[in-house]
Amino acid sequence: MQTFVLKRDSVYAALESGMTLDEIRSFLSACGRTELPANVGRILSEWAGKRESLTLWTNVTVATGCGTMETAGRALGDGTALLPAMTAKHAIAEFPGWRVCDHRGQPSPAWASDEFGRITPLAGDAVSDARLACIADRGGEGWQVTPQSIAHARALGLTPDQILDWLNQHITPPVPPLLQMAIRNWTGRETCGLARVYLLQVSRPQVRDAILHSPAFAPLLAGHIPPDWIVLRDDGVAAARKLLKTLGFALSDTLQLGPSAASREEPPPATGRRKGPRKR
């Protein structure tokens, strides 16, 4: 006479093969000489519950949003079925008209975005749709990346690099640099200076150096922005204006942007050999 022992691994194997907990119970009751002991039934329920609490599937083909799929594969829930493993090419041929996504390959761009984080889905799959819901909020005008949505993504455990990586994977390139900068700021604020300053524009190098090295101007200057810009102290503007007039400078309240006057006046470098008188 053979003796068999129920173990957790054997029950897991039966469940993996497609049997349900009720089918296992019915089989044991039908094939046993006695009723299934209550403690055995309880253990089976515990093992099945632990197994169903978390299951990791790899290299599988799943159909979603497809209604009942009893004829195509094993139903995992409402509108979801586990199909026989197949390639994307086989799936396209087997299910014409369906959207087929091969998650083993590189994701295709599925979104368009402007530099303020307004995202328009162009296409999509289960992965891109789920990621979009993690990093953006959906409002009346569509999807929007906001400080609140990024804070929600951070609460889910996403790092700034992961968020930016998702954007690079799914947004039609190029990803707007201003949006990337904003996300960096929302996850760790970048500091930049914005203040009103007084600038003195001096284009000629000799004049500029004379002012920068002058003991008379020294207490009036706050810095130098090469090549043409000298920053004046707020409390030294009036004194600098008076000193410049005393030295004979013509002052203008208009700044000239672009190449410095000195660089515009410099003659182009000579090229070629200097020609002398032609010998006869």
pLDDT digits (tens, 9 = 90+) for 197-239: 899 999 899 999 999 999 999 999 999 999 999 999 999 999 9
Place of tokens 């003991």: 215
CA–CA gap between residue 59 and residue 72 (Å, rounded): 17
| 164 and 133 within one domain | yes
Rg (CA), the chain: 37
Number of domains observed in the structure of the chain: 4
Q: What pTM did the predictor assign?
A: 0.48
* Within-domain flag for 192: no
Provide, rounded to the nearest whole percent, the portion of the chain with pLDDT above 90. 35
* Contact of 84 with 59, CB cutoff 8 Å: no
User: Quick check: helix, strand or coil at residue 51?
Assistant: helix
Domain that holds residue 216: 198-264
* Within-domain flag for 269: no
pLDDT at 214: 93
pLDDT at 116: 93
What are 84-111's pLDDT values in tens digits?
Answer: 888 888 888 888 888 787 877 777 788 9
pLDDT at 28: 85
Of residues 95, 106, 31, the one with CA closest to residue 64: 95
pLDDT at 106: 76
What are 127-186's pLDDT values in tens digits?
Answer: 888 899 999 999 888 999 999 999 999 999 899 899 999 999 999 888 899 999 999 899
* Within-domain flag for 243: yes
pLDDT at 38: 86
CA–CA gap between residue 21 and residue 1 (Å, rounded): 27
* Within-domain flag for 193: no
* Contact of 220 with 198, CB cutoff 8 Å: no
| 119 and 174 within one domain | yes
* Within-domain flag for 280: no
Place of tokens 């008209």: 97
What are 46-79's pLDDT values in tens digits?
Answer: 888 877 666 677 888 888 776 545 556 777 777 7
CA–CA gap between residue 228 and residue 236 (Å, rounded): 19
Structure tokens at 133: 């819901």
pLDDT at 280: 44
Structure tokens at 104: 């083993």
pLDDT at 272: 47
| 122 and 86 within one domain | no
pLDDT at 152: 93
Specify burial of residue 143 (Cβ count, 10 A radius: 0-12, 13-18, 19+).
buried
pLDDT at 32: 78
Structure tokens at 167: 């954007």
pLDDT at 70: 52
| 122 and 166 within one domain | yes
CA–CA gap between residue 55 and residue 37 (Å, rounded): 28
pLDDT at 3: 74
Place of tokens 């993504």: 153
